[in-house]
Structure 1
Amino acid sequence: MARQTSSLTPVLHRLRRPLTLTWAGLIAERVVRAFWPLWTLLATFAAALMMGFHEVFSFEIAWSVIILAALALMIAAIHGMRRFHWPRRAEALARMDAALPGHPLAALADTQAIGDGDPASEALWQAHQRRMADRAAQAKAVEPDLKLSRRDPFGLRYVALLGLVVALLFGSIWRVGSVGQTGPGTGAALASGPAWEGWVEPPTYTGLPSLYLNDIDSRITAPEGSRITIRLYGEVGALSVSETVSQRTEGLGAATDPSQSFEVLKNGELTIDGPGGRSWKVSAVKDVAPRVEVMPEGARINFDGQMNHPFRAIDDYGVVSGTATFTLDLTRVGRDYGLRIDPEPRDPIVLDLPMPIAGDRAIFSETLIENLSDHPWAHLPVKMQMQVVDAKGQTGQSDVIDIDLPARRFFDPLAAAIIEQRRDLLWSKGNGRQVVQILKAISYNPEPGLFRKDSSYLKMRVILRDLDKMVQEARLTDESRNEISEALWDLAVLLEDGDIDDALERMRAAQERLNEAMKNSASEEEIARLMQELRDATQDYLRQKSQQAQRENDTDQRGQTPQDMMELSQQDLQDMMDRIQELMEQGRFAEAQQALEEFQEMMENMQVTQGNGSSPGQEAMEGLSDTLRQQQGLSDQAFRDLQEQFNPGAQAGESQGNEGRSGGQGRGQSHEGQNGEGEGMGTQQGQSGAPQSGPGQQSLADRQEALRRELERQRGNLPGMSGEAGDTARESLERADDAMRGAEDALRQDDLAEAIDRQSEAMEALRDGMRNMGEALAEQQRQAGQGEAFSQLGQQGSDPLGRTPGQSSRGDSSDNLLQGEDVYRRARELLDEIRRRTGDSDRPDVERDYLQRLLDRF
C-alpha cells in the first residue's frame, strides 16, 4: 500500500488544478441535468408576469395559474434535489483518467501482483510505473457535458428563454410586483382599483424606441411629433389626464376617458390626477431641417465634360433624397451673335443627388457626377443650388453658386464653330436662318485640311440641306430641331476626335504641354490637370490603336513582329505615367522630363499585334468593313460628280485639295479598293446620262449594284448569331441593302443628291450592323463554355489565361481580357478554373507548379 501511495501521490500533487476543474465540471453537469426543469418553469412564469398576463384574466383564473406554477416549481425543485448527487474526488479522478490513453492514473494505483522479489520483474514494473507517470503528467481538465438534447428533445428550455428575453424587451419588471394587488371582486386584474399605463412612441423615421410611462419618473424627452397613449383602468372618473403639450383646441374628449392619445408638439407638462397618479415635464426635441453644402475645393471637370461636384449633407435623423438644380442666369449671358434674341423657355436642369447605399445618412459626403455637354446651356452661366429632404418633408438648401455649366470643350476650330451654331439653334428656332447662312459660309469651298475626311464634309452638307429645307418651308419643329442638333453634335465629336492620327497628335500635344509646364514650374494643380489630360489622350490612342490592329494584321504568317517595334502592356504604360507623376510631385522635373521623353518614344514605337487565326465571324466582319469602305468611296465619287454639276470648271479629284480619294486625280489609296486605284481620270457622262468613272469603267449605278449584290452574298454567308444583338444585326444589314437599292435607282435617274442621302443611310446601317454583329459574336464566345477556353499546357492551345504560345518566347492572346462588361465575372471564372486544375493530382507536376505560381501572383 505504501508503494501505491508513493507512486500516485506526486502525480496527484502536480494534477491538483486540472483535477479541481474536472471536479467543478462534474458539479455543473449534475446541476444542469437535475435542475433544468426548475429554471425552465421559473423563466416561463417570470416572462408571463412581466408581460402582464395576470392582469388580463380574472382573479380566480390568475391565482389558479399562480398556484399551479408554484406547485410545479416545488415539484421540479424536489425532483432536482433527489437526482443531484455531489461528486466525489475519486469520480473526478476516474473521469480524468478515462480521457487519457492507457488509464495511467489507475495504473499508478496498482501493485505488482507477481514477480515480487525478482529483480528483473521489479525493474520492468518500475519502468512501467515511470511510463504511466509521464503519461499522467500530461493530463488536462475534462470539459463537462452540458448538453440536454436527449433530456429535452422539444427544446422547452429555449422556448422559455426566448419568452424571458421578449418579456425583458417589451414588458416591464415592475408588473411582477402588481401580483400582490390582484384581489377578488373584479372581472380583470387591473380593475381592483384605479390604475393606468402609458407609452410614448417617437416618429418611425427617427428610429428611436418607445418609452413606457410607468418606468419614467419626472421628465420626458421626446422628438416633436411623438404620440403619447394613455390607458386608464378602474372606476371611470377616478383618474383624469391633463396636458399642455399637444396644442389641441378641437375634438377634445373628457379628461377621464379610459383611452387618450395625442402628439407632442411643444414643451409642457403631462399629469395623471388620482390615486397612484404622476406628473412629468415634457421636453419636445425639435426636428431640425437638413443642411447641404457644396464643397468647391473638390470640384473638377474631366476631359469629356463630365463634372464632379462633391457635397456634404447633414440631418439629425437622416437625409432621404436630394436634387441639384441648374437655372440659366440671363443677367450674365453675353447677348451677342445667336444669343441676341430671347431664348425659348426651358425648364431648369434637375439632377438627383446620389445617396449612400448603406450606412448612416445623418452626415455623409458624396459626389454629383453628370455629363451635360450636349445640353443647350453648355458653357453658359447658370445658378446651381442643391437641396436635400428629410423624412419629415423638411428641406435644406445650399448657397446659390454662379458657375458656367460644365461641358466638354472642343479645341478643333471647325468643331467649336459647329457646336456654337448648335447652341444658337437650341437657343431659339428663330436662329435657324442665321445658322444655315453660317454653315453655308463654313462649308462653301473650304480650304484644304479644314475637313480631315470627305465623309465629314458630306455629313455636314446633308445636315445643312435638311436644315435649310426646314427653315425655308417653315416646318422647323422642336422634334426636327432636336434631330438636327443631335446630328451636329455627332459631327463635331467626329471632327474633334478624328482617327488614330488625330489621337496620336492629341497625345503628343498633351505631352508637349506637360513638358512645357514642368519647364515653367507650373502649379501642382496645373500639372495634375495636364497629367490627367495625358492619361486620357493615351487611353484614346490605345483604343484606336487596338481597333486599327483588329482591322489590319501587321504581323507576318509566323506571328513575329519586326525587330524595330516594341510591345507594351497597358499596365506598363500605367506604371510609367505613375512614375512620371511621382517624380513631378517630388520636384524632380529633370528626371520627369527624361521619363516623359522615353514614354513618348515608346508610344510611337508601340505595335498592337493580333493572332493569326480568323474565325468565320472575323471574316464576316472584315468583309462588311471592306463593303463599308467601298460604299464610302462611291459616296465620295457621287459627291464630286455633284460638285462638277454646279462647278463645271473644277476637275474631279483636284478640288478641295483631294489627295487620296478615288474619283479624281488623287494619288492616295482609293475607297473602292477595286475600281479606284488612285489614278482615275475625270468623270464622264455615259449614254444614259449617269456619271461614269472613266473610259471603259462602270457607271456609278452599276458599281452601286455590284456592291449591293456583294452585300447580299455576305448576308447569306453570315455565321449563326442568336439573341437580340444577332437579330438587330440582320435587320441593320437589311436596311443597308434597301438603302443601297435606293441609291442605285437614284443614280440611274441622275439624282445625285438623293443618291448621296441613301448612301449615307446605307453606311450608317452598315456601321450599326457591324456593331451589333460584334456584340452577338462576343456573347456567343462568352457562352462557349469555360472548358473550351483552356487547353493542355505544352500543346499549341491556350494557357489558363487564354494566351496562345507563339513561335517566339512570348505568349500571345487573341482575346482582350481587359474589356467587356463581364470582366470581373471572367476573372472569377479564370481563378476558379486555375484552382480546380491546381487541385487535380492527375496533372503533371510542372503544370501544377505553373498554376500555383499564377495563384500566388494573382
Structure 2
Amino acid sequence: MPSTDRSASALRDLRRPLFLTRLGLAAERMWRAFWPALSIVMVVLACLMLGLQDLMAVEIVWGAAVVSVIGLAVTLVRGILRFRLPSRAEALARLDATMPGRPIQALIDEQAIGGDDPASIAVWQAHQARMKARAASARAPQPNLRIAARDPYALRYVAALFLAVGLIFGSVLRVQSVAEMTPGGSARAAAGPSWEGWIEPPRYTGLPTIYLADVQGDTLEISEGARITLRFYGEVGALTLSETVSGRTEDLPSASAPSQDFTVTRAGEITIDGPGGRSWQVAVIDDDDPHVDITAPPETEAAGQMSLPFAASDDYGVVSGSATIALDLDAIDRRHGLAIDPEPREAIIVTLPMPIAGDRRAFSESLIEDFSEHPFANLPVTFTLQVEDETGQTGTTEAFSHVLPARRFFDPLAAAIIEQRRDLLWNRDNAGRISQILRAVSHRPEDVFRSDTAYLRLRVILRRLELFDDYGITDMQQEELAQALWDLALILEEGDLGDALERLRRAQERLAEAMRNGASDQEIAELMQELREATDDYMRQLSRQAQQDGQDGDQNQQMSENSMQMTQDDLQRMMDRIQELMEQGRMAEAEQALRELQQMMENMRVTQGQGQGQQSEGQQAMEGLAETLRDQQGLSDEAFRDLQEQFNPGEGQQGQQGQQGQQGQGQQGQGQQPGQGQQPGQGQQPGQGQGQGNPQGQAQGPGQGQPDADTLAERQRALRDELNRQQQNLPGAGTPEGDAVQRSLDRAGRAMDQAEESLREDDLAGAIDNQAEAMDALREGMRELGDQMAQQQQQNGQPGQGNSEGDRQAQNRDPLGRDQGSNGSLSTDESLLQGEDVYRRAQELLDEIRRRSGDGERPDVELDYLRRLLERF
C-alpha cells in the first residue's frame, strides 16, 4: 500500500481525538480572550441577585449600569479581536506532541531515499507500521485553561466568589427589580407608581408600629425619635418625598429614591408628591422628664433603719434613681463638739429601689437604709432624690431638710458615749475634749456602770484615744475608735436582765393603761408590738443570764418537777390571744390574760440542763464522744502550732503566752468526762499540768514553752484509752446500728494509734493527717449514734406513754426552744412554724442560728449543736 494511503487511513482513525484536541484549543483561546467580560457579567449578576439596586439611589444604579456596559463592551471587542479558531494542523501538532516519537508526523512523512531498494523499503514500511500502531493509542490532551500570567490578581476568582454569594444569599427573582428603574420597564410601572410606609415608635415607649397607608386623616401624632420608612414603586421619579420633620441638612438622599428612612425630631410636614401621593401634618409627642417626690418625712424603724417613702412617675417609665443625702450645716446647732468646722465628707449616695415587676410609669416605694453608724446620723441633712428615664432625662426633687433618722439611745450613759462618738467623727481635733468628758463621766464608775466589763472597755478606749491624739489620729484610728465607742454604747443600751425586765413591765403597764382608757386600735397595736419586742429582749437576756450562771456555777442544776417551762412559741400564742381579745372588745379578759403573762414572765427562769441523773445512756455516750472530739481538736491544734514553729521559729510567740495560760486552765479537766467516772490515775492526763507552775505563761525551756513530741504522744495515748473506755459503755451492742457506731469508733482508734506513733517519731505533719482522720471518724460515729437513738425513740413511742425517764427528758429544750425528744433523740416532731408567713420565719431562724454560731462566748455544747444544724440545713 502506498504511503499516502496508509497516512490517510491512519488519520481517519484519529478523527475523534483530533476533534477533541481542536475543541480544547478553541476553549483555551476563548477563555484567554473573554475571561474579563465573563468576570464583569458574574459581578453584575451577583449584585442584582443580592438586591443592591434596591438599597442605592437610582442615580448610583444607573451609573453602575453604564460603567458595566462600557466595560463589558470593551472586553468583548478585545476578546473578539484576539480570538482565532485553531486549524487542523495545529490540532494535529498538539495531539502529536502528546505521544513519544511523534507518530502522526511519521505517518505523514514520505520516504526520501532508497525508494528503489527493497530492503530500504521494507525497513520504511516496518517503521510506518510501528508508528501507526502507536498513533492508534492517541488520546486528546486536556486543554490548558491556566491564565495566571494574564490575571495576576485573580480577579476571575473574585467574580466567581461574588456570584456564589449571590446564589446562596440572594435570589434570582430579585434581578427583575432592576427593570422597575427603567421607564415603563415593569408591570408595576405599567399599572402606575405606588408607595407604602411605616412609623416605628422608639422601643422604650412600648407603642405599636403604624402602617401609613391605613392612617385616616391628614394629622399624625408621633413620639419624638420615631423612625419613618417609605418605599416608592414604579417609574423612578414619578414619586418624590419632601419633609421637614427630620431636620436633616447634610447627606440628603434623592427625593425620588425608592427607599427613604429618617427619624422624627420635630413637628413639621411630610408630603409624597406624585400620583396617589399624600400629605400629613406631624405633631411631635414630647417625652416628658420623669418626676419624683418625697411623700412623707423619713421615719426610724425598730432597729434604727430609715424608711423614706417616695413616688416617681414618667410617661414611658422610670429606669433608675438615686438619693443624695448631704449635711445641712446651716441647720446644725454649732455648739459643744460641733462648734469647730467639720472634716470634709462626701454626701451619701444610695440607689433608689425600683419595682421588680409591674408598671414603672407611676409607682410608690420606700428607701430603707440604716445610717445609724454614719457620721451624719441624727444630724440635719438634705435629701435630694433623682430619677432617670430611658432617654437619659432626669427629674430631681427640691432639697428636703430633715434630721437623718438613725438608732436612738435612751440609756443616758449610752447616749453620752454616742454623742462623743459623733464629735470624734465630726472632727478628730475634738479628741482632747472627748477624753476629758469621758473621764469626768467615768470618775465614779460604781454610780454609772452596771458591769465591770463596760467600764474596762471604756478605760481601754480612753487610753487609745489619748495615745493616738498625742501623735495625730489617722483615718484608720478614727474609724477604729468610733467602732469601739459604738460597740460600748450598744452594750450599755441593751443593758442586763434587770433593764430588760423593767422595759417589759413598762410596756405591759402602758398596754394595760391604754386598754383601760379606751385607746384607739392603732395605739393598742403599736403598744402590743412594743410588748412583743420587750418580751423578746427579756427572753434573750434571761437566756444569756442562765448561760452565764451555768458557766460560772454548777452546770448540773436540777429543775423541780413541779416547775413549768415555756417556749417562745408559747409566749407568742399568749400574746396573740391577748390581741385577739382586745380586737373583740373583751377588755376585761384581755387585762386578766395580761396580768397572768406578767406574773409568768417575772417568775420565769431558764435552766441550763437537767442533771446527769436524768440523762439516758445514749445521751451520756453522745456527750462523752463530743468531749473526746473537742480534746482531739485541741491536740491537733497544738501539733499544728509546733509544726509552724519548726518552719518559722519565733513566729507567733507574742500570742502564745496568753494561749499557754488558757491551755493550762483548760487542760486541768480534760481527763474528766461529763457524767462519767474516771479510773484511778485518770484525773489528769500526762502533760496537763505544765502551765500551772508558770502563771504568766512565759516560755519555758526548749521549744519556747510548746509541748514536745513525747508529751503530745502521751496525751494522744490517754485520749485513745478514753475512747476505748467509752466504746465499752456504748448502748445498742449487737444491733446493726450499734455495730456501725463501733466500726466508726474503731477506725477513729486506729487513726489515734497512728497519730501517737507519728508524734513519737516527730512526724508532726503525718500526725496532723492521722488526727484529722480520727476526728472525721468520731463525727461519723456520733452521727450514727444519733440515728440509733432516734430509731430507738420511734420504737419506744412518744414521751408520756409510761416511760418516766423519757417524760423527764421531754422537758429539755434546745437553743431554739423546741423539745429535744426522749431516749436521746436529737430531733423533734414539734412544729416550729405557725401562721401564714412560713418562709420568712424559716429565714429568720436560719439567720439567728448563724448569728449564735459565731458567738464565741456561748457554751461549746451549744456551738457544736448549732454547727450541726448549719451542716444539715
TM-score, with structure 2 as normaliser: 0.51
- Are residues 1:600 and 2:571 paired? no
Match of 1:707, as an amino acid?
Q
Cα distance in 2 for partners of 1:272, 1:434 equals 83
Partner of 1:539: helix, strand, or coil?
helix
Cα distance in 2 for partners of 1:459, 1:569 equals 34
Contact 1:551 1:622 in 2 (8 A): no
Cα distance in 2 for partners of 1:215, 1:717 equals 95
RMSD of aligned alpha carbons: 5.0
User: Residue 187 of structure 1: CA displacement?
Assistant: 7.3
Match of 1:530, as an amino acid?
L
Partner of 1:415: helix, strand, or coil?
helix
Q: How does 1:825-840 map to 2 (within 5 A)?
A: none
User: Residue 610 of structure 1: CA displacement?
Assistant: 6.5
Task: Give the match for residue 381 of structure 2.
Answer: 382
Partner of 1:795: helix, strand, or coil?
helix
In structure 2, the gaps of 5 or more residues are 1-48, 54-176, 610-614, 633-655, 674-690, 700-774, 819-831, 844-873
Change (3 A) 1:334 1:56: same
Contact 1:791 1:797 in 2 (8 A): no
Q: How does 1:632-671 map to 2 (within 5 A)?
A: none
Q: How does 1:494-573 map to 2 (within 5 A)?
A: 494-518=491-515, 526-547=523-544, 561-563=559-561, 565-573=563-571
Cα distance in 2 for partners of 1:712, 1:230 equals 91
- Are residues 1:461 and 2:433 paired? no
Partner of 1:408: helix, strand, or coil?
coil
Cα distance in 1 for partners of 2:214, 2:467 equals 83
Cα distance in 1 for partners of 2:310, 2:669 equals 55
Q: Which has the larger radius of gyration?
A: 2
Q: How does 1:265-304 map to 2 (within 5 A)?
A: 265-296=265-296, 300-304=299-303
Contact 1:220 1:283 in 2 (8 A): yes
Cα distance in 2 for partners of 1:518, 1:825 equals 31
User: Residue 355 of structure 1: CA displacement?
Assistant: 1.5
Partner of 2:409: helix, strand, or coil?
coil
Change (3 A) 1:708 1:610: closer
- Are residues 1:311 and 2:310 paired? yes
Cα distance in 1 for partners of 2:670, 2:809 equals 40
Match of 1:283, as an amino acid?
A
Partner of 1:296: helix, strand, or coil?
coil
Cα distance in 1 for partners of 2:198, 2:401 equals 51
Q: How does 1:182-581 map to 2 (within 5 A)?
A: 186=185, 194-218=193-217, 219-296=219-296, 300-446=299-445, 448-473=446-471, 475-518=472-515, 526-547=523-544, 561-563=559-561, 565-581=563-579
Cα distance in 1 for partners of 2:628, 2:413 equals 36
Partner of 1:241: helix, strand, or coil?
strand
User: Residue 416 of structure 1: CA displacement?
Assistant: 0.7
Contact 2:183 2:236 in 1 (8 A): no
Contact 1:565 1:606 in 2 (8 A): no
Change (3 A) 1:519 1:540: same
> Could you report, residue by residue, the CA deviation over 1:53-97 in whole angstroms, capped at 9, with x for unpaired residues?
x99999xxxxxxxxxxxxxxxxxxxxxxxxxxxxxxxxxxxxxxx
User: Residue 522 of structure 1: CA displacement?
Assistant: 5.6
User: Residue 195 of structure 1: CA displacement?
Assistant: 3.3
TM-score, with structure 1 as normaliser: 0.52
Match of 1:577, as an amino acid?
M
Cα distance in 2 for partners of 1:242, 1:429 equals 71
Contact 2:188 2:234 in 1 (8 A): no
Change (3 A) 1:306 1:193: same
Q: How does 1:129-168 map to 2 (within 5 A)?
A: none
> Could you report, residue by residue, the CA deviation over 1:531-555 in whole angstroms, capped at 9, with x for unpaired residues?
3222222222223444555666799
> Could you report, residue by residue, the CA deviation over 1:725-745 in whole angstroms, capped at 9, with x for unpaired residues?
xxxxxxxxxxxxx9xx99745
How many pairs does the alignment contain? 518
Task: Give the match for residue 663 of structure 1.
Answer: none
User: Residue 284 of structure 1: CA displacement?
Assistant: 2.3
Match of 2:255, as an amino acid?
A
Q: How does 1:666-745 map to 2 (within 5 A)?
A: 705-710=660-665, 744=697
Cα distance in 2 for partners of 1:419, 1:247 equals 63
Partner of 2:373: helix, strand, or coil?
coil
User: Residue 200 of structure 1: CA displacement?
Assistant: 1.5
Match of 2:248, as an amino acid?
R
User: Residue 371 of structure 1: CA displacement?
Assistant: 1.3
User: Residue 511 of structure 1: CA displacement?
Assistant: 2.4
Partner of 2:448: helix, strand, or coil?
coil
Contact 2:193 2:238 in 1 (8 A): yes
Cα distance in 2 for partners of 1:292, 1:259 equals 43
Cα distance in 2 for partners of 1:242, 1:539 equals 77
Cα distance in 2 for partners of 1:191, 1:546 equals 98
Change (3 A) 1:576 1:397: farther
> Could you report, residue by residue, the CA deviation over 1:285-342 in whole angstroms, capped at 9, with x for unpaired residues?
2222222233328x64223212223322222222211222222222221111101111
Change (3 A) 1:449 1:592: farther
User: Residue 242 of structure 1: CA displacement?
Assistant: 1.8
> Could you report, residue by residue, the CA deviation over 1:799-840 in whole angstroms, capped at 9, with x for unpaired residues?
9xxxx9931596755463759xx9959979xxxxxxxxxxxx
Contact 2:383 2:401 in 1 (8 A): yes
Partner of 2:350: helix, strand, or coil?
strand
Cα distance in 1 for partners of 2:528, 2:206 equals 47
Q: What is the percentage of aligned positions where both structures have the same residue?
A: 52
Change (3 A) 1:513 1:285: same
Partner of 2:481: helix, strand, or coil?
helix
Cα distance in 1 for partners of 2:477, 2:567 equals 46
Cα distance in 2 for partners of 1:188, 1:744 equals 108
Cα distance in 2 for partners of 1:617, 1:378 equals 51
User: Residue 207 of structure 1: CA displacement?
Assistant: 2.0
Contact 1:805 1:811 in 2 (8 A): no
Match of 2:591, as an amino acid?
Q
Contact 2:183 2:235 in 1 (8 A): no
> Could you report, residue by residue, the CA deviation over 1:452-484 in whole angstroms, capped at 9, with x for unpaired residues?
2212111111111111011112x2012210111
Change (3 A) 1:425 1:556: closer
Change (3 A) 1:439 1:361: same
In structure 1, the gaps of 5 or more residues are 1-53, 59-177, 625-700, 719-737, 747-775, 829-858
User: Residue 530 of structure 1: CA displacement?
Assistant: 3.3
Partner of 1:383: helix, strand, or coil?
strand
